[in-house]
Chains A and B, each alone.
Chain A
Amino acid sequence: MSKTVLTVDDSRTMRDMLMLTLKNAGYRVVQAVDGAHGLEVLAGETADIIITDINMPRLDGFGFIEGVRQDPRHRATPILVLTTESDGEKKTRARNAGATGWIVKPFNPDKLVDAVRRVAA
């Protein structure tokens, strides 16, 4: 059975890009539009990998990651953050919240799939 990736991003463009890339790579994709929605989706779905944006309304990526890690089911679920920031500050914050790794935007499909593969068991 193919692995399920939950993508959390408030930008429709990004969600579509992620969907296209990951589907082509053989993953099943579940989407959420912000952190709060992401947690709602996780309540009813199991995700093998989570990819999340940082800047989002309602609940940002940091809060979302913390929320995911508090759920015993998802303590060991790999979480990749999407970041355009080249400085390390956001990365560090995301890591402190419990992120597994990151993907620097703009990503090309290979880079994305590569990063997902690296953290996916």
Chain B
Amino acid sequence: MDPLEAIKATFFQECDELLADLESGLLELEGGGGDIETVNAVFRAVHSVKGGAGAFGLEPLVRFAHVFETTLDDMRSGKLATEPAAVKVMLRAADVLADHVSAARGQGAVDEAGSLRLVAELKALCGGPAAAAGADGDDEVVMVDTEVEDDGFGDFDFTPVIVEIEGPAEAEVAAMPTWRIGFKPSRAMYAKANETALLLRELDRIGACQVTLNADALPDFDALDPEDSYFSWIIDIETDQGEAAIREVFEFVEDDCEITLEAIGPSATSDAPLAPSEAPELAVAAAEPAAPDGDVLALLERAKLAAAEMQAAAPSSAAVSTEPPRAAPPPAPAPAAALHPADNGDAKAAAGTTIRVDLERVDRLIDLVGELVINQAMLTQRVGESGLARSSTVSVGLEDLEHLTREIQDSVMAIRAQPVKSVFQRMPRLVREVAAMTNKQVRLTTEGENTEVDKTVIERLSDPLIHMIRNAIDHGLEKPEVRVAAGKPAEGVVKLCALHRSGRIVIEVSDDGAGINRERVKQIALDKGLIAADATLTDEETDNLIFLPGFSTAATVSDISGRGVGMDVVRRQVQALGGRISITSNPGKGSTFSLSLPLTLAVLDGMVVGVSGHTLVTPLTAIIETLQPKTNDVRLLGPNGAVLAVRDAYVPLVDVGAVLGYRKGPTDWTTGVVLLVESEVGGRAALLVDAIQGQRQVVIKSLEANYQRVEGIAAATILGDGRVALILDVDALIDVRRKDARRSAAPPAARLPLAS
């Protein structure tokens, strides 16, 4: 990639981070927290965005960032209080800034009117209405400013071209203007590491110089302060580049020296005798104690005086003409330490605590570790088959290998792990927008932002979360007046929370709204033919109806949630991540949606089971216990259905072989083994398999990517003996079973579309 493009990509990456910092900083200020350092950090974020944008010529972004930055600068200097009203404007400005960044990136467009409105609001914050009126004018100044700089440089490039057109080269040489520069540096100039020699070198670049040194002010050696400045110079320079170019050479030092500049005619040579004229004056000036660094005005005044008197002064002949300016004295003694080579410097150079690695490399590593896991399983199996004793050194060594493999795997997974913060950070803006659109008052609280999850999971978490939060505000929270009438605070709370629970990450979105209106949910499901009229549903089952395809509870399709995306899509997205979604609702108190996701998509602890000659893997996290069913524990229900009595409860019995189509017809329940599993949505179920082969770690290989989606199957894996085994999708399996049961149990008149 073009290096500049690569840097641009870095810039946008950095922008994302800066925008996140900006928002979290502003939120902290909004909440009344934060201090001057928070304000500084917020300012720096906008400042850096602007700086980078300027480097890439992203002008609309620069313009907006500039106004924003100016307002923040006022806040930083205390001119503007960090009161909630101001911070709210800034939060919205941060949103617009994010839009500008996206637009600069070529993703989406900026709402120009909205942007201008905010510019006006920001200006009103820091300067009152007058500033707001002059909004556009101000912006222009900023941009023009940089153009002026460019023009200054343009002179270098273009002037010679013009000259060529105007006349022959010889004429030009003859008419070359000559300037006389009087230059007396102060002690402060050298203290800032500026060098007369370098200035002369620069002058030499723009024209032929004749340099005259005046060393009259040099005191006796015993009175000499090696760091003081005693010399002055007079430089006659022949150049066609004009005064600006000469001034530019002295740009960095003009406050730390006395400098005079005058045009002394079209030709330099004949005017040479005039050169020493100002020397005495300068010597007088040098005899005075050096002006303090800060007294710039006084220095300038004196420089002006010297220039005026210079005209009248009588010439004297102290001039020493020097050739190319290499003879300037060292203004400061070379410090001894500088002579030491950079000993062991590289070792000590502060090492970065993070490195950036191409994701592909990490993925490759993960793939390889996956292969290692498979290989190690294979080895274990071979060793087992060879009949070696468990206490043999080979077996013991193999155990160590297994241990190591597991550790490597955990470490590699940790590389990919990232805090969910990056997703959570996008939510406050969403909440603000949805709240504004629905006229509701919402406060978002987050917890567990630093919970770490696999990067792939994080990337794909955003969409479901966005939808769930929209849903919580749009459908969950009531209007302020309704809330007040119900004795709740007008401001609703949406809580976003992440935590680790038994090897999975759980993300909860809860609101303190009205909870799910089960009567209405049931009615809608009925109207849409999603359930049978006489269906008896538990509260939990009713709540879960909203995940059915084609279900939408919004009485009017709103702008927010009614985008043709229902909760069923959310559930599918979550399931695609190997996750589960569940809901608990408390009428009048609110609802909580819980996402439960695997920490990683690559490896899983599974129970390997045999069914009709096939080897299958059941995720260990789903299994509560295993048991051997007795004949009288099993009750048949309908033609195919059966339940198993487990202690005090009946649990639907799922014959895995029959559901997956490995075999047909009733089975002898008692010959198999039952895995009692628990799913997020469907409660408990008993999976009937033929035998348990063992428990092991398996590497997940996508079935969709390599073959196609199969109902009831989550993915595939490769076993130690090299055979492919399917990984069961417990929830889907229970669903399949449930649908089958309903199909056969439903009376012929049922309004079930699937009925046949």
| Residues of chain A at the chain B interface (Cβ within 8 Å) | 10-14, 16-17, 20, 30, 32, 37, 40-41, 43-46, 55-57, 69, 72-73, 75-79, 84, 86, 92, 95-96, 98-102, 104-107, 110-111, 118-121
CA distance A45 to B198 in the complex (A): 24
Given A37-B350, A46-B345, does the pair A20, B7 have CB atoms closer than 8 Å? yes
Binds A, one of B42-50, B262-270, B311-319: B42-50
Residues of A within 8 A of B344 (CB): 44
Cβ-defined partner of A105 (8 Å) among B7, B51, B347 = B51
Q: Are A10 and B44 in contact, with the CB atoms below 8 A?
A: yes
Q: Do the beta carbons of B14 and A106 come within 8 Å of each other?
A: no
Task: Select the stretch in B186-194, B485-493, B689-697 that faces chain A.
Answer: B186-194
Q: What's the Cα separation between A91 and B249 when bound, in Å?
A: 17
Q: Which of B169-226 contact A (CB under 8 A)?
A: 190-195, 197-198, 202
Q: Is the CB of B191 within 8 A of A10?
A: no
- A106 in complex: contacting residue of B13, B51, B251, B256, CB < 8 Å: B51
> Which residues does chain A contribute within 8 Å of B348, judged by CB atoms?
43-44
CB of B11 within 8 Å of the partner chain:
yes
In the complex, the answer to whether B44 meets A106 with C-beta atoms within 8 Å is no
Query: Can you list 18 pairs linking A and B with CB atoms under 8 Å apart?
Result: A12-B14, A13-B55, A16-B6, A20-B7, A30-B349, A44-B342, A45-B342, A55-B48, A76-B332, A76-B334, A79-B193, A84-B47, A92-B255, A100-B252, A107-B55, A110-B153, A119-B252, A120-B198
Query: Are B47 and A40 touching (Cβ within 8 A)?
Result: no
Query: B residues within 8 A CB of A99?
Result: 192
Asked whether B44 lies within 8 Å of A13 as measured between CB atoms, the reply is no
Chain B nearest CB from A82 CB (Å) reads: 8
Query: Nearest residue in A to B202 (C-beta to C-beta)?
Result: A118
| Residues of chain B contacted by A92 (CB below 8 angstroms) | 255
A75: which B residues are within 8 A, CB to CB? 191, 193, 332, 335
**Extra 6 A-B pairs, beta carbons < 8 Å, given A13-B55, A30-B349, A95-B255:** A45-B345, A45-B349, A55-B48, A76-B190, A76-B334, A120-B198
B4 in the interface, Cβ–Cβ < 8 Å?
yes
A105 in contact with B44 (CB, 8 Å):
no
Q: Considering the complex, which residues of chain B in the window 2-19 have a beta carbon less than 8 Å from any beta carbon of chain A?
A: 3-4, 6-7, 10-11, 13-14
Q: Which residue of A lies closest to B296 (CB)?
A: A92
The 10 nearest A-B residue pairs measured at CB: A44-B348, A106-B54, A101-B252, A13-B52, A13-B11, A11-B48, A73-B337, A44-B345, A16-B7, A106-B55
Kindly identify which residue among A32, A79, A105, A111 contacts B54, using a CB–CB cutoff of 8 Å: A105
- CB pair A111–B50 under 8 Å, yes or no, is no
Q: How far is the CA of A119 from the CA of B193 in the complex (A)?
A: 8
State the CA gap A55–B41 with chains docked (Å): 9
Q: Residue of A at shortest CB range from B56?
A: A106
State whether B146 touches A96 (Cβ < 8 A): no
Bound complex: CA A102 to CA B252 (Å): 7
B13, B54, B194: which contacts A101 (Cβ < 8 A)?
B194
Q: Which residues of A contact B251 (CB under 8 A)?
A: 101
A14, B192: Cβ atoms under 8 Å? Answer: no
User: With A and B bound together, what is the CA distance between A100 and B255 in angstroms?
Assistant: 11
Q: Which residue of A lies closest to B347 (CB)?
A: A44
B57 close to A (CB within 8 Å):
yes
Within 8 A of A (CB), among B532-584: none
Q: Is there an interface contact between A57 and B44, defined as CB atoms closer than 8 Å? A: yes
Complex Cα gap A101–B3 (Å):
28
B55–A111 touching, CB < 8 Å: no
Number of interface residues of B (CB under 8 A): 54
Q: Which of A14, A76, A77 contacts B52 (CB 8 A)?
A: A14
Minimum CB–CB distance from B672 to chain A (whole Å) comes to 60
Check: B346 CB closer than 8 A to any chain A CB: yes
**Given A13-B55, A84-B47, are A106 and B146 also a contact pair (CB < 8 Å)?**
yes
Question: Does A56 lie within 8 Å of B350, measured CB to CB?
Answer: no
Q: Is B151 an interface residue (CB 8 A)?
A: no
A78–B11 Cα distance when bound, in Å, is 28
Please, which residues of chain B bring their CB within 8 A of the CB of A43? 348
Interface centre among B195, B202, B293, B334 (most CB of A within 10 A): B195
In the complex, what distance in Å separates the CA atom of A53 from the CA atom of B37?
18
Q: Is B338 an interface residue (CB 8 A)?
A: yes
Contact B10 A12 (CB under 8 A): yes
A16 vs chain B, min Cβ distance (A): 4
Question: Contact flags (1/0) for B371-387 with A, using CB distance below 8 Å?
Answer: 00000000000000000
Q: Mark B313-346, 1 if CB is under 8 A from A, else 0.
A: 0000000000000000000101101100010111
- Asked whether any CB of chain A lies closer than 8 Å to the CB of B145, the reply is yes
Q: In the assembled complex, which residues on chain A have CB atoms less than 8 Å from the CB atom of B293?
A: 96
Is the CB of B613 closer than 8 A to any CB of chain A?
no
Q: Which of A57, A76, A101 sits near B335, CB closer than 8 Å?
A: A76
Please, which residues of chain B bring their CB within 8 A of the CB of A118? 198, 202, 249, 252
Cross-chain contact of A84 among B40, B51, B202 (Cβ < 8 A): B51
Known: A98-B191, A100-B252. A13 touches B54 (CB 8 A): no
> Which A residues are CB-close (under 8 A) to B4?
20
Interface string of B125-167 (1 = CB under 8 A from A): 0000000000000000010011001000100000000000000
Min CB gap A69→B, angstroms: 8
Q: Are A13 and B342 in contact (CB under 8 A)?
A: no
Report whether A111 and B153 are in contact in the complex, using a CB–CB cutoff of 8 Å.
yes
Measured CA separation A43–B340 after assembly (Å): 13
In the complex, A101→B191 CA distance in Å? 12
Q: Are A13 and B192 in contact (CB under 8 A)?
A: no
